[in-house]
Amino acid sequence: MSSTQLPDLSPKIPSESSSESSPESSPERLPDSLESPHKGQRGLRRLFNALLYSLSGLSLAFRHESAFRQEVALAIVLMPLACVVDVTAGERVLLLGSVLLVLLVELLNSSVEAAVDRIGFDTHRLSKRAKDLGSAAVLIALLMLTITWALLAVPSLIRIGATLIAASR
């Protein structure tokens, strides 16, 4: 084995002809059913279960993560606004996408935090790094949202406000 090639550490399944197979032959893969009890499902049942797990994740995030609740409140305001503001279809997609990106990154950050907390609540430099990196990702998504809305929606909202003020005089 060369120094750049890593050894295969994946678990091997004994086969009926294991004495006949050579060590150089390709390693056997674990059947999906042995990797996870959920991997054996296929078709519509798998899709339905995936939908239920996703809805459960959204519900858990809303119940347990105050930052996610705040960002959902922001999305409730901004998404309808993105649909009525006078911008092109492409700009509307960017406005809506920037809001959804914040929610997506917050969900990923929350999952990292939950996994780190599952390992232990004691302070460790790698745990801190993982949590800080997730927080930085959320910050960058929020900055992207702010810049996108400032460049695309604010000029249109200023025009609407000026029209309303002029009409009231």
- Which residue numbers are catalytic? 106
Number of neighbouring beta carbons within 10 Å of residue 23: 5
| Encoded tokens for 20 | 């006949």
**CB-count exposure of residue 131 (10 Å: 0-12, 13-18, 19+):** middle
CA distance 91 to 165: 26
Q: Could you give the CA distance from residue 54 to residue 56 in angstroms, rounded to a whole number?
A: 5
Cα four-point dihedral sign 122, 127, 129, 135: negative
Copy the structure tokens of residue 80.
């309808």
Cβ neighbours of residue 156 closer than 8 Å, sequence gap 6 or more: 85, 86, 87
